Amino acid sequence: MAKFRMVPTDFWMNPEISEEMSPEDKYFYLYLLTNPHTTQCGIYKITKKKMAFDLGYSIESVQALMNRFIEHFGLIRYNPETRELAIKNWGKYNLKRAGKPMINCILTELEEVEDLSHIQYVAGNIRNDDILEIYKSFCKKDVHNELIEDQKLVGEQNEALQQEAHLPQIENNPDDVSEIIEFWDQNGFGLSNISAKDQLLGWLEDSEFMNPKDVILKAMGIACSNNKRKLNYVVGILNNWANESLMTVAEIDLYNPDKKPDSVKSKLMNRGRDIPTDCVLDITAGEDW
């Protein structure tokens, strides 16, 4: 774990930072450059959950900020599978000198990087020639690995083509996206909240629901009825259904978590002593008058 990281004073003179970034963007960028998980090579593992905890944001807010820095600013890359984050200008800020301890540290860290494309990404802004050569040596490994992966991919594609005829075909409805967006906009979820819409639409592809569009609309309807028109609330509903393995709207409609099993109900109804079946009631029994 690093004790400190360098952020030069001309950081604030960069027009992209001073003019285009919001205060929230600047706060997030400084966090990416200085948090305890950073490494000397500019590529480190970190989860969105950890970032949200450190910054005091929701995971959805962190995802929105990451999308801005990846797609709009082009300052970072993130691999969700390896949980590795790479910073484009890391070499510009931190790799100006090349002492032996630093080089040994960088070599050790680059050996542990799983997504080698991150190494080439960071190398693009390294000014020190000695350090740049180290990064280039790992980039050559990446090219070799890509050739091997391409060969594997061709084999997998051929196998997939052979199996395709035996798989059931699922027809995609091109109106699913527009229907969800229309419901979102017309029911007060936030007309201009583009990031939240994108995250919700991700459930169309990434979820295991049989008909995700109908399930998403049902979750949004519940949110409206409870006056909770927020992405977190809708996603919470979807996660609960997924955890309960409720894959269709029909299964969701039949599901009642508060309903007691019939066996439990029968036990509650049959509490007390059993009455013998051959018992005959005689109200005068035991009286002599």
Answer whether residue 102 shows pLDDT above 80: yes
- Structural domains of the chain, with CATH: 9-156 (1.10.10), 176-268 (1.10.10.630)
Q: Which amino acid is at 83?
A: R
pLDDT tens by residue, 213-265:
999 999 999 999 999 999 999 999 999 998 988 899 898 888 866 554 454 44
pLDDT tens by residue, 108-140:
999 999 999 999 999 999 988 889 999 998 887
pLDDT (0 to 100) of residue 42: 94
Range list of β-strands (E), 125-277 = none
Q: In this structure, which long-range contacts are made by residues 16-25, counting pairs with CB atoms below 8 Å and at least 24 apart in sequence?
A: 16/73, 20/73, 21/73, 24/65, 25/65, 25/68, 25/69, 25/73
CA dist 205 and 216 (Å) reads 12
Answer whether residue 167 shows pLDDT above 50: no
Answer whether residue 210 shows pLDDT above 50: yes
Q: Percentage of the chain with pLDDT > 90?
A: 47
Determine the number of helices (DSSP H) and then strands (DSSP E) in the chain.
14, 3
> Interhelix angle for 194-206 vs 231-243, to 10°?
10
Question: What average pLDDT does the chain have?
Answer: 82
pLDDT tens by residue, 4-19:
788 888 889 999 999 9
pTM of the full predicted structure?
Answer: 0.49
